[in-house]
Amino acid sequence: MKNLNTEPSISFRAPDAEDGFRVHKLIASCKPLDENSIYCNLLQCSHFSGTCCVAEVNGHIAGFVSGYRLPEKPDTLFIWQVAVSEDARGNGLASRMIESLLLRPGCEGVHFLEATITADNSASWGLFEGLAKKLSTELLRGDMFDRDRHFNGQHESELRMQLGPLTVRD
């Protein structure tokens, strides 16, 4: 895969268990994303397939978004991770995966997106700021997980990002 700008066959779909290992490899190649176990990725691709998205080009997984609806706030989709292969970056693939995901039955009734992002992750902030603008909605930032209190100093603080309200289906 050389250039997605000229690639005619990008498909967006729900993942399945057979995608779990390939998703795991994609995430491992997308530093500094935290790697989860292969088993976790298998569960995301099977149990949570309705709120996850794979972008595929000619049999190659070029992108993956994992998410789940918050049990206490079912109108909120928490975006866990967004991974885009190096050769597919710079083409808006991440935002297109999220937009595709929001139109699926598993996201009916979702009016907010949430994620946690480190302060220095300009790519993720840019993704969600761009989505907020495109979807004509607000993006709010706040504290979520503190470096010292929650990560024992072993990980940067994670800020809470909330985007919404969404009117994707309206």
CA 15-32-81 angle, 5° bins:
30
CA 90-128-169 angle, 5° bins:
105
Number of domains in the chain: 1
CATH of the domain at 55: 3.40.630.30
pLDDT of residue 5: 45
- Please check whether residue 110 lies inside any domain of the structure: yes
| pTM: predicted TM-score of the whole model, two decimal places | 0.90
Model confidence band, residue 1 (pLDDT cutoffs 50, 70, 90): very low
**Residues of the domain holding 47:** 4-164
pLDDT of residue 38: 95
pLDDT of residue 2: 38
Percent of the chain with pLDDT over 70: 94
